[in-house]
Homo-oligomer: A and B are copies of this chain.
Amino acid sequence: MEKGFIQSLLGQVKEKKSHVCVGLDPDLRRFPPAIREKIDGGNCSKKEISKAFLKFNKQVIDAVQEFAIAIKIQIAWFEEYGHWGLEALESTLEHARKKDLLTILDIKRGDIGNTAGAYARAYLGFVNVGGGKQESGFDAQAITLNPYLGKDSLLPFFEIMKERNRGAFILVKTSNPGSYHIQDQVLRSGKSVYEHTAQLVDEWSRDLIPKGSFYSNLGAVVGATYPDAARCLRQIMPRSYFLVPGFGAQGGRAEDLIPFFNEDGLGAVINASRSIIYAFAESAEGVPWPRAVEEAANSMRKDINLVLRQAGLGQ
């Protein structure tokens, strides 16, 4: 069996003393002037933008590799550029694998069983290319999934996760303000929809714990902007790692992160996207942009570690 997602993640936490995940949301409008100017002055096309994405992504990966335990790649920014965008995504994933950086592909897919099978093969598995032959798909280490369609829409992912020891994070309570529209609705049982989803995730996660591990390969997305929800969700899903978006640009702060962690000082991967990868916009003149990105990742790492230490977690 390949080295599993959750074991690799825990190995990275220990080795790098970090809980930081860097979100790769390549947005041309915010690129370093050196990259952007070349496009604006040159041959404007989806192909050129996608090439610039790859160039930017590789430098971000190299810059954060020492301090980040994973990168979370948001596929929407690549899909925007059609097949050229996906080609850049494939090469970005390849570069991350070369650099031994774990990849969480933020796809938020969810569909009926038959179709979910196609997504599962695409992102975590092997794809049939005819003549009984197979090729690897995008080959992410982990993905995000949307639970609205229920368990049978997730089973094809669970199967490949078991086979290849890969990971997934199911949306439970998302970081955006409108998440209350459905997720916060209160059920007759007195529980909210997100608590109900969390109970399902906990149930499903038990079947996806690799041998010898406390943590499951099945985690949950819990927004940094909702520490109170996190406190209760941490109880409901003790074996699930939390992928915590919303830190930084969306308003989540280091001092609010404690409830996302277990007492072992583990259990949460804190993601920041824009505040890290576009950190150069705020940095002093003369600092090379990848250096500003690296420093932002390290500074976030230290902020989180300090808060955990002050709370006496994982000591």
Contact = CB atoms under 8 A, between A and B. Distances in A.
A181 interface: yes
Nearest to A250: B112
Contacts of A28: 128, 130
A171 to B, nearest CB: 6
Contacts of A261: none
Interface in A6-40: 25, 27-29, 36, 39-40
Contact of A182 (B118, B179, B196): B196
Interface stretch (A131-139, A206-214, A287-295, A301-309): A131-139
B193 A181 contact: no
A256 interface: no
A122 B149 CA distance: 24
Given A129-B45, A176-B150, A188-B186, A118 B83 contact: no
Interface stretch (A57-65, A72-80, A159-167): A72-80
24 contacts: A27-B118, A36-B130, A40-B132, A45-B129, A46-B129, A48-B129, A49-B129, A76-B109, A80-B122, A82-B86, A83-B90, A112-B245, A147-B181, A148-B148, A149-B178, A150-B176, A150-B177, A150-B178, A150-B183, A152-B178, A182-B196, A182-B197, A186-B187, A187-B188
B174 A149 contact: yes
A231 interface: no
Interface string A90-126: 1000000000000000001111111110110110000
- What 7 A-B pairs come out closest when comparing CB atoms? A150-B178, A150-B181, A152-B178, A39-B130, A83-B86, A83-B87, A76-B118
A177 B152 contact: yes
Given A46-B127, A76-B118, A147-B148, A196 B185 contact: yes
Interface string A198-219: 0010000000000000000000
Contacts of A148: 146-148, 171, 174, 182-183
